[in-house]
Amino acid sequence: MDVESEAIVDWAYFSRTRTELGASFVRILGYFQEDGEKAVARIEDGMHRRDAAALVLPAHTLKTEARQFGAEPIGEIAERIEFAARRAVESRLFPDDLLPSVVRLRQLFNQTMALFAQEMNPLAQRRPAFGRAPTNQEFGRI
């Protein structure tokens, strides 16, 4: 992976999660993709409708789920949106300044999903899990 993908996904964390979840990993990653897509769409819709309360739950959910897969930049943006939306609900002043973050969230989510798809490709060379010796595939032998 290149430097850009390293900035988007913490691959060591991703690998640990993959190891911990075992056979369930692909299914749970699929749920994250589906739920994440819905969360981003709900955040965008809340921004269009200027409904701060509608931003809170999808941003909170996306923040938590993204961090479980090592997608910290998505988690950071979602957290910024969540906290700003909570303040906006309390102050009754809509956070228009969140618009660039919401736009960036969509871009980053799409980039992250593309990186995850590339990593999950059965023909892709796998990264060694933390503390694990290389396998035959990592040496180019099958």
Note the CATH number of domain 3-119: 1.20.120.160
Query: pLDDT per residue over 25-74, tens digit each?
Result: 999 999 999 999 999 999 999 999 999 999 999 999 999 999 999 999 99
Q: What is the pLDDT of residue 122?
A: 72
Q: What is the pLDDT of residue 141?
A: 46
* For the chain, domain boundaries: 3-119
Instruction: Using the predicted structure, report yes or no on whether residue 134 has a pLDDT greater than 70.
Output: no
| Top-confidence range, 15-19, 39-43, 117-121, 132-136 | 39-43
What is the DSSP annotation of the chain? --HHHHHH--HHHHHHHHHHHGGGHHHHHHHHHHHHHHHHHHHHHHHHHT-THHHHHHHHHHHHHHHHTT-HHHHHHHHHHHHHHHHHHHHT---GGGHHHHHHHHHHHHHHHHHHHHHH-TTSPPPPPTT----TGGGT--
Q: Are 63 and 78 in contact (CB under 8 A)?
A: yes
